[in-house]
Amino acid sequence: MPKKTDNKKKQEEMLYDLADLFKVFGDSTRIRILYSLMDGSLCVTDLASVLEMNQSAVSHQLKILKQNKLVKSTRAGKAILYELADEHVKSILEIGQEHIEEL
């Protein structure tokens, strides 16, 4: 039978992981990237154009988003396309938007 301290440690780890996830959402550039990807896949060049940013800055933010499993990439010839990792990411953005619109 698992000890209560093991369950508490697991819960604390989960809460720290959740806090880290929400920190990623604390950057408006990353939110803009995620919103841009809600309609489908884009390459870095297209994202940079849409966001009016340089490719290096977009690539840096995409790396963070990818490390946190919020976006995924696929190769299409020479280009790398980025898209939301799954429907959960879209749901988080939509729920957040609904929340702020209620205020």
Beta-carbon neighbour count of residue 65 at 10 Å? 23
The pLDDT score that the predictor gives to residue 9 is: 94
- Residue 65 contacts residue 33 (beta carbons within 8 Å): yes
Angle at 79 between CA 58 and CA 71, to 5 degrees: 50
CATH class of 4-102: mainly alpha
The two tokens of residue 91 are 């749901």
**Where are the chain's structural domains?**
4-102
Q: How far apart are the first and last CA of the chain?
A: 46
**pLDDT for 100:** 95
Length of the chain: 103
**What is the pTM for the complete model shown?**
0.90
pLDDT tens series, the chain, 103 aa: 557 789 999 999 999 999 999 999 999 999 999 999 999 999 999 999 999 999 999 999 999 999 999 999 999 999 999 999 999 999 999 999 999 999 8
What is the Cα–Cα distance from 43 to 28, expressed in whole angstroms?
19
